[in-house]
A = this chain, B = another copy of it.
Amino acid sequence: MDCGLPVGVFDSGVGGLTVAKEIMSRLPGERILYYGDTARVPYGSKSKETVTEYSRQITKFLISQGVKVVVVACNTASALAVDTMRKEFDLPIIDVVEPGARTAAGVTRNGSIGVIGTEGTIRSGMYNKHIYNISPELNVFGKACPLFVPLVEEGWIYDSVTREVARRYLGEFRGKDVDSLVLGCTHYPLLSNLIRDVVQEVLGGGVTLVNPAVETAKCLKQLLTERGELNSSPEVPEHRFYVSDGAEKFRSFANSILPCNVIETKNVAIKTFE
């Protein structure tokens, strides 16, 4: 395998850019080929079958572009589709749930872990499953927060309405004594300052926020190193961004959160990859 090949990263929309950002920061030689499925966003409320089909189409597109690895930068797709994808595709597939679960299990001191995510992620119980696999002694409490994604997309990042919504969602962890909270949706790190404040307010101090994106980037680095595929070229890589709808809106959002300048974003009709 040529280590100069790009790393494929996908999400239902812009959320996965928080994972792309960590990869850019920790693996500065890697070229990223990102796909955001903006024509069918969000995945969080959709079924396992639908999310698996969409993930399969996108993976076929990424493979057609010659990626060396696929990073599923979406918790819902990680929770619902990755098991099936690993059976169907030969190349390595990295998800965000397993690294997130491992980090949470590592940081908890009292063994009580909270997970917030989309309906699909929470209903799947995949964080619980991975955390119990690490240690059956740990307690995991999940809470779906379906309004966080549209609030981020509305741009109400540090806002009184978002704060009130967060109070209500996070208030559900009261009395559960959680000391770590997994941001189990790639949009949520964009709200991390607000979530940190509200956690402090409703649950008190001492709760560690876990961003699976950081651990996912580390996981990717380890995998590429083991396979001898890490790109250590000093050249600044040219990342590419593809979406299924609204290329310009995506580009402007990407430029607001990535450390590089996103010059162009292309529309790709994903349904042809079946």
Question: Which residues of A are interface residues toward B (Cβ below 8 A)?
Answer: 38-41, 45-47, 49-50, 146-147, 149-151, 153-154, 160-161, 164-165, 168, 244-246, 271
Contacts and interface: CB of A to CB of B under 8 A. Distances in A.
Contacts of A164: 160-161, 164
A30 B40 CA distance: 32
A154 B147 contact: yes
Contacts of A38: 46
Contact of A150 (B46, B146, B168, B271): B146
23 contacts: A38-B46, A39-B40, A39-B46, A39-B47, A39-B50, A40-B40, A45-B246, A47-B245, A47-B246, A49-B245, A50-B245, A146-B150, A146-B154, A147-B147, A147-B150, A147-B151, A147-B154, A150-B150, A160-B164, A161-B164, A161-B165, A161-B168, A271-B271
Given A147-B150, A161-B164, 7 more contacts: A41-B45, A45-B246, A47-B245, A146-B150, A146-B154, A161-B165, A271-B271
Contacts of A245: 46-47, 49-50
A38 B164 CA distance: 28
A90 B195 CA distance: 53
Contacts of A161: 161, 164-165, 168
Nearest to A164: B161
Contacts of A165: 161
A77 to B, nearest CB: 14
